[in-house]
Structure 1
Amino acid sequence: MTKNLVDLDDEALADAAEWFGTSTPGDTVNAALRDAAVRAQRARALAEMVEIARTGQFDELLDKRHRP
């Protein structure tokens, strides 16, 4: 693990620690970084799905659902 010296917003750190249920600044920052990375991955996946939908690739699935 890399050690870095950074200035942190104490109020934001306390809020994040409460949100993540962490007790040390390092744990809080690491939890926030992991959370941000997961959110970014989900946003990219959603953008890909939207693009697939725009191209009409889901239309065949919709047609199959409405067949008798």
Structure 2
Amino acid sequence: MTVTQIDLDDDALERAMALSKAKTKKEAVNLALRFYAEKQERAARISRHFERAQHWGAVDDATRRHEAEKSG
């Protein structure tokens, strides 16, 4: 664990603590950092899958099927 002194947005911290039910500032900040990292990692995984799907032609196939369903 690293000890770091930082200035925090009091309003954002208060909102995060209320929404997350965090009991301490430390808990709220650590929760927010983990949440952010997980969201970024998930976005990167989705992007990699989308790139693979484009390479396989799956995106074009799905688009054609979707358009066919819309037109009846």
- Shorter-chain-normalised TM-score: which range? 0.7 to 0.9
Show the counterpart of 1:6.
6
Structure of greater relative contact order (alpha carbons < 8 Å, 6+ residues apart): 1
Task: Say which structure is richer in helix.
Answer: 2
- Partners of 1:2 and 1:57 in 2: how far apart? 46
Tell me the alpha carbon deviations over residues 13-68 of structure 1, each in whole angstroms, 9 at most, x when there is no partner. Answer: 01111122101110000000000010011000000010011001658xxxxxxxxx
> Secondary structure of 2:28's partner?
helix
Show the counterpart of 1:49.
49
Gaps of at least 5 residues in structure 1 are 60-68
> Secondary structure of 2:3's partner?
coil
| Alignment length (residue pairs) | 60
TM-score (norm 1): 0.80
TM-score (norm 2): 0.76
> Secondary structure of 1:15's partner?
helix
- Partners of 1:48 and 1:20 in 2: how far apart? 30
| Paired amino acid for 2:8 | L
Q: Using the aligned pairs only, state the percent identity.
A: 34
Let me know the Cα RMSD of the aligned residues.
1.8
- Partners of 2:43 and 2:51 in 1: how far apart? 12
